[in-house]
Structure 1
Amino acid sequence: MAANSDLSLFDIAWEDVLYAKLFPLLSLKDLFNLRCCSRLSKQLVDNGFSHRRDFNLSGNNSPHIVRAFHVLSKMCCNVHTVNLAKCNWLLDTNLREFLNVNTKIRRINLSECPNISSASLQPIIIKCKQLQVLKLARCSWLTIGAMEALTLHHSKIQELDISHCTSLSERCITIFLLNFRLLRTLSLAYIPSVTDNLLYTIAKNSKEMKHLNIIGCQLTTDRGVGALSLYCTRLESLMVRDCPYITERSLSLLRGRAFVDRPRIYQHQFNVVPNMGLPRLYLQV
């Protein structure tokens, strides 16, 4: 039997084959190129966008990305994971348009987005009740008020990155921690208000903590890390570079059961091996 020469891509089952098998293999650029081919291809892609669960536009600052994001905001309604880090074009208006439709978001990354404000977080705070991962590193616009609202309306967050958010106070972060006792990953790098008091709060209340980043928190000391080693028994990694008052005295309590980003510091001493007359170097903590 001769093959049907009129068979085209659009004759393949859309739901069971194209959306389930083909679309996950295509990048957003590929999908938008396909969308431009014909009216039928536009319909195919637009319907397919409603099936997408994740989008990664991190660092994408191409000239036409704003128009593309507007299309995504209209067509997507079931996104669970979105990465918009380092998107300089992102504004409150287009972000809120997207968030108002996608209320099932579980993971969102807005790190290093300089042209939005804390007002754009309102849809996340009010509507995205399934949120588990929130990344806002280097977001100087993040305010204490926004953090307090987030604390009031959410309970399921397990991972938070607020590194370099210098306007946040220790009290604000402490209140957040008291309400999120299932937090597993926390990044507080280069927040000047972080002290041992906050490390005590983490130690006493965040028993599920696995990954903690306090790089550049220069008011933390061995006392705070000692509390972490005593109470955070599930801790798997601790980042403490550029913390001058944290020494091997406390870090040694964690080594062997958790990764520490700072290598052990040894003192080199010169000694003579007994009965051999040969010099050797030995290492002593």
Structure 2
Amino acid sequence: MDIVRYLPHHDVVFPKIFCHFKIESLFQLRLVSKCWQSLVTEYFKQRRNLDLSEFGQRVTVDAFLLVTSDNKVLKQLLVPEAASWLMDQHLLRVIHDCSHVLTEIDLSICSQLSSLSLHSLAANCRNLTKVSLKGCEWVDEDDFKQLVKNNHGLRKIDVSWCWSIDDRCLINVAISCPFLEELILSNILSVTDSALVIIAMKCKGLKHLSVKGGWQVTNCGIRAIGDHCKDLKILHVSDCFRVTEASLARLRVRGVAVDVPVPSEDSLIEVEDAMDVLMDPDRRLQI
């Protein structure tokens, strides 16, 4: 401790030493002495990144408050799966204090939050580049629209399983976020080709798109994405029953990673036979 005490804290100890410690180690360090406790507390105040992804529900409210208390420079806040402890009153203070610098936030599966948190993000944060609201059923359509409207620099949006998101929300995303690179819309049943066509035309830098489980998505929407988004690298369309090789084959040739395998010749024949039966109900198999 004597050596550390005489080193410049903000120029050496924090950026060169403490930044390499895991959160658990820093909490253990606080228990050594009052001097270490004071030093770690001061470090938490100026820490710019807080990633609690690996802890999930094992974090306590007290620990979260300790790490974020008096911090006004937090740029990254990742607290996915904090369903058992994170509530609006804990998050709103952080959003208020760090709204001018916050660029990345992950609230995936934080089920005890409400639209109050989203409203605060939408109203106060103007520099967000990455937002994940996966599995947040409390997402409000109007607040989400305001969020994307106020953050034109968004590069990543994940609203998987957010059932209030519809084509109108996604068209708003396309118009407001021209620099979007990653858009995750998994298991949103209301997504249609209409939104995908607008997204394709407005977000030409898109690199990763997931419409997995989008039952209303067809080859038309995927073709639009392929025609306009020349930088596309990853496409997830599993369980999109109306999307076929008619639109996927061209993307595979371009090197796009598609999450469904190339159908075998036998399976293609089976599909063709099934389509024939559907087109001709009176057709019967000849034995």
Q: TM-score, normalised by structure 2?
A: 0.86
RMSD: 1.8
User: CA 1:139/1:10 → structure 2, altered by over 3 Å: closer, same or farther?
Assistant: same
Contact 2:127 2:153 in 1 (8 A): yes
Contact 1:47 1:75 in 2 (8 A): no
Deviation for aligned residue 1:237:
1.2
Distance 2:11 2:189 in 1: 53
Contact 1:73 1:97 in 2 (8 A): no
Deviation for aligned residue 1:36:
2.8
The farther-off stretch of 204-213 and 121-130 is 121-130
Q: Which amino acid aligns with 1:25?
A: H
- Computing the radius of gyration from Cα coordinates, the structure with the larger value is 1
Corresponding residue number in structure 1 for 2:263:
265
Q: Find the partner of 2:60 among 60, 65, 71.
A: 65
Q: Find the partner of 2:82 among 78, 82, 87.
A: 87
Q: Find the partner of 1:101 among 97, 102, 105.
A: 97
Corresponding residue number in structure 2 for 1:273:
none
Distance 1:237 1:8 in 2: 50
The farther-off stretch of 123-132 and 78-87 is 123-132
Gaps of 5+ in 2: 268-287
Q: Which amino acid aligns with 1:194?
A: V
1:48 aligns with 2:43: yes
Q: Which amino acid aligns with 2:249?
A: S
Distance 2:8 2:226 in 1: 56
Corresponding residue number in structure 2 for 1:205:
202
Q: Find the partner of 2:176 among 166, 175, 179.
A: 179
Deviation for aligned residue 1:13:
3.2
Distance 2:175 2:249 in 1: 28
> Which structure's residues are more often helix, by fraction?
2
Deviation for aligned residue 1:141:
0.5
Q: Which amino acid aligns with 1:38?
A: S
Contact 1:218 1:243 in 2 (8 A): yes
Deviation for aligned residue 1:247:
0.5
Contact 2:206 2:229 in 1 (8 A): yes
SS at 2:50's partner residue?
A: strand
User: CA 1:221/1:45 → structure 2, altered by over 3 Å: closer, same or farther?
Assistant: same
Contact 2:108 2:133 in 1 (8 A): yes
SS at 1:141's partner residue?
A: coil
Contact 2:45 2:68 in 1 (8 A): no
Distance 1:60 1:215 in 2: 25
Corresponding residue number in structure 2 for 1:165:
162
Moved over 3 A (4+): 6-9
Deviation for aligned residue 1:226:
1.3
Q: Which amino acid aligns with 1:40?
A: C
Distance 2:121 2:91 in 1: 10
Corresponding residue number in structure 1 for 2:140:
143
SS at 1:150's partner residue?
A: helix
The farther-off stretch of 97-106 and 30-39 is 30-39
Q: 1:133-191: per-residue Cα shift (whole Å, max 9, x none)? A: 00001111101111122133221111100011012221122122111111111011111
Q: TM-score, normalised by structure 1?
A: 0.87
Percent identity of paired positions between Structure 1 and Structure 2: 30
Gaps of 5+ in 1: 1-5, 270-285
Distance 1:256 1:53 in 2: 42
> Which structure's residues are more often strand, by fraction?
1
SS at 2:260's partner residue?
A: coil
Distance 1:37 1:60 in 2: 26
